[in-house]
Chain A
């Protein structure tokens, strides 16, 4: 049989249902809408951010919500010089694992540092929320983190 060109077609798959986020993730996302960062107290008094209904290390129940941040320390980072279309920022940025003040675990988000030579592990960053009117109770309510002491040029 002669070789012929393979046929191609686009295929869109989606799950258009909504879910309840529950008492812990729900509280965190509501906090974002209010411009606050919340963690949850885990086993042994550690503070877990982002919060879960269970302690990620022990699997035990978690307790009260506690406010953390708005600043924190970069534990690790990776520089994206060519952001993908769905990434949080359209211009070059860093992914970072950020341990917020008062927290014992790290949160993943974007850092708008201006350049790869202006960020290092151990640096302090602070949260930059979207304007209150634009916040919807989702991770995107955090526009990015920025180096503490000022936004990039």
Chain B
């Protein structure tokens, strides 16, 4: 692609956002059935149909389904006759949104549907995610995602950048805020002191510092310029978008910082104005500390008013949902300017930063 990340050249808006109910286990629907109402809602919100978008891009992973090219089947949730321009990333839907945004920047399309889905419940998530690691040095040891996150949390504690009490405070706040999010999976008001009485899952991480296992899906319609204004009275504009990646060699990284987030934030222009709300894709509580610092946000910023991924962590759509929730916080008047972050890979290996503003 000729366009890289950065500040928006052609105005592009989040015209519509929808997500499924986030649940621990959805046995009653396959991926297509889970997506269909979400796709119907994201179009229905703004009174359009699939004929109004020029491009479809999705994010999902074959590892969860256990079969190759599973995203092709998922297209049935949209319906692709007559034939449509379509693409897929084996990543969180936030990266599918990035691909669509690049095409919009280049002027190749005027509107796009982005969706993402994942059912974590059918398999053994610890084993499945271990298989996505380096096949020679890491996967043969079967280090599960909780263990890798725990190594990062210990490094953070050793560096004096966070404590177990901090992790509990983040988890407590997130799940309390989720009580006002009807789509959240885990919403409850438990004080940090009570959470700290839990046993460790993998020390220094207790149960509350881990994300829930979630089945869910989400979708966003992106629209450029005039179309955005036509479809929405108060469009939310993407003013900057970028993603960066660090090495997959865990032992060659400083796990207590996130230089890829910092770089993406610089390119996307996070510091160009005040930030009211940040939706941070930090599946493990301690990662919020790292990402918040990497984004350069202070304590005046409201973090994850939706409850964030500690309240619902549908794999492959949890990052896309951050963009949708950040846009929603602007639509609702809570924020004038918001930042959304998405992550992928072990210990925040890859990070995407999206800056959004109202009219």
Contacts and interface: CB of A to CB of B under 8 A. Distances in A.
Interface of A: 6, 11, 13, 21, 25, 29, 48-50, 52, 56-57, 75-81, 84, 86-88, 95-99, 105-110, 116, 121, 138-140
B151 interface: yes
Interface string B128-165: 00100000111011111001101111110010000000
Nearest to A120: B158
B164 to A, nearest CB: 13
A78 B252 contact: no
17 contacts: A6-B27, A29-B136, A48-B249, A52-B249, A56-B249, A56-B252, A57-B247, A75-B251, A78-B147, A78-B202, A79-B200, A86-B142, A108-B151, A108-B250, A110-B141, A121-B154, A138-B140
A48 B150 contact: no
Interface of B: 27-28, 66-67, 126-127, 130, 136-138, 140-144, 147-148, 150-155, 158, 200, 202-205, 247-252, 255
Contact of A84 (B142, B154, B155, B158): B142
Nearest to A12: B66
Contacts of B140: 138-140
Nearest to A26: B136
Contacts of B27: 6
B8 to A, nearest CB: 29
B154 A78 contact: yes
A25 B158 CA distance: 31
A76 B127 contact: no
> Closest 10 interchain pairs by CB?
A106-B251, A78-B150, A56-B247, A6-B27, A86-B142, A79-B203, A76-B155, A105-B252, A56-B249, A56-B252
Given A81-B202, A116-B203, 8 more contacts: A11-B66, A13-B67, A56-B252, A76-B152, A95-B151, A105-B249, A105-B252, A140-B140
